[in-house]
Amino acid sequence: MNSSAFSVWGKLLYLLSVLVLVSGADRAKTVDFNVKPGGVVHSFSENIKEYECVFTYASQGGTNEQWQMSVGLSDDEKLFSCSVWRPQGKSYLFFTQFKAEIKGAKIEYARAYSQVAIGGQKDVPLKEEEYTVGDTSVTQKDGKFHAELSKLTIISRTRHDEL
């Protein structure tokens, strides 16, 4: 992705994050959930209207960690966003797999992050070869993903048509 495209999507992502903060419950919500280690596949999902975000994962090490999922729908219902992250920062779990699936919309932008503690916590984008972005899902690439995940952000375009 070139830098001008990233800049446009960065601004859009910022606007959607503001939308999540100021919208009512019918347009945005943030929900806590526990990420559980043990190597077993788990899923967590949230929806707004007919749009849904499903986060499926397996992880190892440590104990349960509190994570959050935020979903938001723009006022014109043309954009649906989903973010999954650990509010305490760096995750100490090793993710053996992850997949975020969007139902009812097509992904326009997605970015996965890990975190480093250099001069404070900082989000570091995963390398593009570590995960795949499809029309409706973001998935780790087997053999390329380094098992570190602290945040995943997705912006998708709905199939909403004007009458």
Per-residue pLDDT of 92-144, as tens digits, reads: 899 999 999 999 999 999 999 998 766 666 889 999 999 999 999 999 999 99
Computed over every residue of the chain, the mean pLDDT equals 86
- What is this structure's pTM? 0.83
Nearest to 27 by CA among 76, 69, 67: 76
In a domain, 122, yes or no: yes
| Res 28: pLDDT | 96
In a domain, 15, yes or no: yes
5 pLDDT more than 90: no
Structural domain range at position 113? 3-158
Helix (H) / strand (E) containing 12: helix 3-22
Amino acid at 4: S
In a domain, 144, yes or no: yes
In a domain, 93, yes or no: yes
In a domain, 107, yes or no: yes
List Cβ neighbours of 40 (8 Å cut-off, separation of 6 or more).
58
In a domain, 143, yes or no: yes
* Domain count of the fold of the chain: 1
In a domain, 163, yes or no: no
